Amino acid sequence: MTMREVEKTPDVEPSPRHSHPLRMPMWGIFLALIVAGLSYARAFFMPVVLAVLLALVFSPLRRSLERIGIPTSLSAFALVFSLMLGVLTVTASVAVPASEWISDAPQILRKVELRLSELKPVTDTISKINDGIDKVMDGGPVATDPRQQPAVSTGATAPDASKSQVVVQENTPQSYIMQVVASTPAVLAQFVFTMILLFFLLASGDLFLEKSVQVAPTRVEKARVVRIIFETERRLSRYLLTITLINLGLGISIGIAMWAFGMPSPLLFAVIGFLFNYVPYVGAMVGVAIAFAVGIVSLDLGTATIVAAVYFTLTSIEGQIVTPWLVGRNLRINTVVVFVAVMFWAWLWSVVGMLIALPLLVTLRAFSENIPALKSFAAFLSDARGADLKPYSESRESG
């Protein structure tokens, strides 16, 4: 909107109910309570939210199976069983190399530090230059001779060295394995709960849709409820199907590249590229860091840098070219909103939160676009090419 259009926009007095002085503080308290509740009961809400999102994704496929004569319960069981089989297959294929990486984690970290120590002369030179610049800016003398540096007490370094030794002794391979083993029952229980709830949601058919339509007071509201649910299912299914295929191609490309450079466990790198790419931005950065660290241990420093650069290039091609071209305008979301959402849900629900952050944004945008009062919020969630306020503006003019 240009400045001339803004000047021509008539001033509208806000409604009295929107100008209540306690309205914004009450909304802030309400949102804070929601966040606190989601954090406190995360063990319950995580599988529930994940099951609802998966039900929205698989509902169109369930209806397609019903049209060809397959009963609802049987189609729900087939979909849930196929999903469980896929998850277990991926887990079993990477369990052995992943367990080896976990058990060798302290040794890998020490080897990385040893390889990075080769860059110590360069870092020392840079630090000396920075120290000289700081002293010149402060107006003090520049001490180039190490003998002119202030003496450091040797007694103060002994506790630090002992502390570092304690940390190294505590971070043994057995401690890493015990941490993974201790968290396995809780993760397995949440996975089973998610699959059971997903089965019940799919087996119930369109029961929740029918109940929502019955609750709506008018025919217009009933039509809007149906449109919102169907639009949300369509967009979420399209998004996750497209992203899954893109991630599959990216994982295969990364696995082939790692194999070509002689990296260990290229299959594990393929799975990392496939799974981590569900988390926008953060997943790619973590994958590059893992490739660089493993490359330093298994190869030389220069080759490890090339391997990390290849990983970064593949993810950049996927993120900047492939995904925008295949996903389409209707599913593009503001990158700043995506990054903030991923960080927020990672802080709230850790790994599961990062995985569901973008599907939740897609669902929220589809929901907002079908409610006139939330059209502006839907446009805010969209990127520059996906934002479109014309329908809402026309509805205001017609109203």
The answer on pLDDT for 359 being more than 80 is yes
pLDDT band per the 50, 70, 90 thresholds, residue 396: very low
Burial class of residue 93 in the structure, from the number of CB atoms within 10 Å of its CB (0-12 exposed, 13-18 middle, 19+ buried): middle
Measured CA distances, 247 to 34, 41, 135, 287 (Å): 33, 31, 50, 13
pLDDT reported for residue 195: 92
Which of 60-64, 173-177, 182-186 tops mean pLDDT?
60-64
What percentage of the chain reaches a pLDDT higher than 70?
Answer: 66
Enumerate residues 6+ apart whose C-beta is below 8 A from 288.
308, 311, 312, 315
In angstroms, rounded to a whole number, what is the distance separating the alpha carbons of residues 61 and 70?
11
Residue type, 335: T
Angstrom distance (rounded) from CA 267 to CA 273? 10
264-323 per-position pLDDT tens digit:
888 888 988 998 888 888 888 999 988 888 888 778 778 888 999 999 999 999 888 888
- Cα 316 to its chain centre, rounded Å, is 16
Cβ–Cβ contacts within 10 Å for residue 196, how many?
A: 13
**Residue 257: what pLDDT?**
93
pLDDT band at 126 (very low <50, low <70, confident <90, very high): low
Where is average pLDDT lowest: 94-103, 126-135, 304-313? 126-135
Query: Which carries the bigger pLDDT value, residue 248 or residue 130?
Result: 248
pLDDT at 112: 65
Rounded to the nearest 5°, which phi and psi values hold at 382? -80, 160
Domain ranges of the chain: 42-119+183-205, 234-327, 330-399
The answer to whether residues 102 and 268 touch, using CB atoms and an 8 Å cutoff, is no
Read off the pLDDT of each residue in 373-389 and give the average, rounded to a whole number: 69
Predicted confidence at residue 80, as pLDDT, reads: 93
Radius of gyration over every alpha carbon of the chain, rounded to an integer in angstroms: 27
Would you say residue 3 has pLDDT above 50? Answer: no
- Poorest-confidence range of 153-167, 186-200, 215-229? 153-167
Q: Averaged over 57-74, what is the pLDDT?
A: 89
In this prediction the pTM is: 0.68
Question: Cβ atoms within 10 A of the Cβ of 137, count?
Answer: 8
Number of CB atoms found within 10 A of residue 197's CB? 18
Phi, psi of 15 (to 5 degrees): -70, 145
DSSP β-bridge partners for residue 382: 333
Distance CA 247, CA 249 (A): 5
| pLDDT averaged over every residue in the chain | 75
**Beta-bridge partner residues of 333:** 382
- Residue-wise pLDDT for 325-335, tens only, equals 777 655 677 77
Those residues with Cβ within 8 angstroms of residue 310's Cβ, 6 or more apart along the chain or in another chain:
257, 261
pLDDT confidence of residue 127: 60
Over residues 12-25, the pLDDT tens digits come to: 444 544 556 666 77
What pLDDT is recorded for position 28?
Answer: 79
The span from the CA of 80 to the CA of 17, in Å, is 47
Examine the pLDDT at 186 and tell me if it is beyond 70. Answer: yes
Q: In this predicted model, which residue has the larger pLDDT, 33 or 145?
A: 33
Task: Decide if pLDDT at 363 tops 60.
Answer: yes
Q: Is the pLDDT of residue 152 over 60?
A: no
Q: Which two tokens stand for residue 392?
A: 């809402």
Q: What is the three-class DSSP state of 333?
A: strand
**Would you say residue 339 has pLDDT above 50?**
yes
More confident call, 148 vs 105: 105
User: Is residue 91 predicted with pLDDT exceeding 90?
Assistant: no
Each as own residue / partner, the long-range contacts of residues 303-312 (CB below 8 Å, 24 or more positions apart, any chain) are: 303/261, 304/115, 306/261, 307/257, 307/258, 307/261, 307/263, 310/257, 310/261, 311/254, 311/257, 311/273, 311/287, 312/284, 312/288
Higher pLDDT, 125 or 393: 125
Per the CB < 8 A criterion, the answer to whether 283 and 318 are in contact is no
